[in-house]
Amino acid sequence: MHNSLTEHARCLYGDEYRPTPECGLEHREHYFIEELTFADADSILALLHELCPNLVDGHLPVRVRNLAYRLVLLQRPDEPALMREAAEHLWLHGPDWDDLAADLTERADALDTR
């Protein structure tokens, strides 16, 4: 068992900034996705910020980043800064998600004006 969601992701996908640990566990993406699905927002954000500290880096697949941000936003629906962070990633990996990124940005702006 891994000690954290970040450690599990690092073992599965690698890390651009640190060596991939040798842990001896069987790594299958579906086990990681299950862990991600039920992780708390702080654990998910730690994973995103540690493995992808800059907008255009990291080895996490786009589908994993998108899912991670979606899960965090479901847990923290009223955080404009988090919405903008997610939107930036969607803009970067669009254009399929440009409408969603624009919607997140508009929602964040609306929350800021309350």
Q: What's the pLDDT tens digit per position in 72-110?
A: 999 999 999 999 999 999 998 878 889 999 999 999 999
Residues 61 and 85 in one domain: no
- The two tokens of residue 90 are 């969607």
Task: Give per-residue pLDDT as tens, 54-73.
Answer: 888 888 999 999 999 999 99
CA-based end-to-end distance of the chain = 44
Q: What angle do CA 114, 55, 8 make, to 5 degrees?
A: 105
Report the domain count for the chain: 2
Give the separation between CA 87 and CA 17, rounded to whole angstroms: 24
Residues 12 and 25 in one domain: yes
Residues 5 and 35 in one domain: yes
Residues 38 and 27 in one domain: yes
Give the separation between CA 97 and CA 40, rounded to whole angstroms: 24
Residues 103 and 53 in one domain: no
Q: How many CB atoms lie within 10 A of CB 91?
A: 17
Residues 55 and 91 in one domain: no
Domain that holds residue 102: 78-114
- The two tokens of residue 75 are 């847990």
Residues 55 and 84 in one domain: no
Residues 31 and 83 in one domain: no
Chain-centroid distance, C-alpha 41: 10
